[in-house]
Structure formats: C-alpha cells, structure tokens
C-alpha cells in the first residue's frame, strides 16, 4: 500500500472550478490508470493472476468508470467528449485495445440498466473522491471486490 501513497505523493488537487488544461487532463487520466493498475495488483487480478476473471464483471467495470469520471469531474473536465476519450484511454490501458474500447462503450449503456454496474460506479467515485480529499484513506474497494469480498450493499 505504501507504493500507492509514494506513487501519488506529489499530486495536489486544488478545486478551482476552472476547466482543466488539456495536458492536465491527460495527466489525470495517466495517474488514474497507474493508480487503478496498482489497485488491481493489490486485488491479485493482473494478467494471469487468480482474480483476473473478476475484472470484467459489471461491478469492476462500473468501479473503473466511476473512478475515472469522478476524478475528471473533480478536476474540472466539463467537456463530455473529452471525458469519454480519457475514460476510453484508461479502459484500453487496463483491458487492452479491443476489450478496453468495448468496455468503455458498454459503460455508457450499462449506466442505466445494470444495478451492479451502478453500485460499482458509485463505489469507484466515492473511493477516489475520498482519497483526493484525504490521502490517508486509500481507494481499495475494487481490490476488496477482486479478492472475493462481497459487493457493498449486497451483504
């Protein structure tokens, strides 16, 4: 877990309400990708790992979408097409070019119809927003899920 903290120790998050510059939004997407990769590693779900199969589940995909979208919104990315481009970038980085693009597209349709996806989306958004305001609380709800713990709200 110290790796996660060290990786992002220098990142600050002023909430200015001003749209982020393009290079800042790309940095956010890259940081989100790195942090999600670390969370997936903690959840033992990287390529070839025992929990990798859970990463494509609705809950995990919802978490990734909510995590990235909330971070982009927090930093002032108001343009929806730019946000979707960056979300797709993160999905491709996590799932590969074919599955990543498909999962990003599915995320748009899954939002309304899949309650499990929706719970993952809320968990991802909550996790990253809590971490952005308090670096002592690591965003590990996805790692918990990948390790086989139940989906929050279904116990």
Mean pLDDT in order along the chain per 10 residues (155 residues): 40 38 77 95 93 91 94 84 90 91 82 77 95 90 91 60
Cβ-proximal residues to 138 (8 Å cutoff; 6+ apart), any chain: 1, 4, 5, 131
What pLDDT does 15 receive?
38
Measured distance CA(100)–CA(88) in Å, rounded:
7
Measured distance CA(42)–CA(27) in Å, rounded:
23
Give the predicted TM-score (pTM) of the model: 0.81
What pLDDT does 3 receive?
41
Sign of the CA dihedral with 140 first, then 133, 154, and 105 last: negative
């Amino acid at each position: 877990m110290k790796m996660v903290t060290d990786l992002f120790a220098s990142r600050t998050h002023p909430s200015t309400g001003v749209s982020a510059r393009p290079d800042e939004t790309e940095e956010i997407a890259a940081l989100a990708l790195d942090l999600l990769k670390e969370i997936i590693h903690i959840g033992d779900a990287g390529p070839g790992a025992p929990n990798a199969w859970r990463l494509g589940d609705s809950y995990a995909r919802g978490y990734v979408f909510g995590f990235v979208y909330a971070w982009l919104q927090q930093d002032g990315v108001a343009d929806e097409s730019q946000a979707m481009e960056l979300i797709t970038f993160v999905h491709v980085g996590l799932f590969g070019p074919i599955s990543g693009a498909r999962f990003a597209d599915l995320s748009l349709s899954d939002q309304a119809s899949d309650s499990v996806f929706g719970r993952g989306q809320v968990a991802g958004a909550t996790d990253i927003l809590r971490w952005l305001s308090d670096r002592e609380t690591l965003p590990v709800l996805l790692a918990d899920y990948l390790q086989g713990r139940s989906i929050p709200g279904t116990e």
